[in-house]
Amino acid sequence: MTDDEILLSIGDYMLAGWTSLRCTRGIERFPSDFELGMT
């Protein structure tokens, strides 16, 4: 894993290889949301 690699960890599973990540947070946005892109 490199410093700029996106890693999704769920329990004992670790998923890597994502090509993009978008995370939206804001004081007027609840809940926050995210989007992962893959090939």
pLDDT in tens, 1-39: 557 788 889 999 998 888 888 988 888 777 788 888 887
Cβ neighbors of 22 (< 8 A, separation 6 or more) are 34, 35
| Tally of residues, the chain | 39
> How much is the pLDDT for 10?
92
Closest CA to 15 of 35, 4, 1, 31: 1
- The strand pair at 13-16 and 7-10 is best described as antiparallel
pLDDT value, residue 12:
95
The rounded distance, in Å, linking the Cα atoms of 38 and 18 is 5
**Side chain identity, residue 3:** D
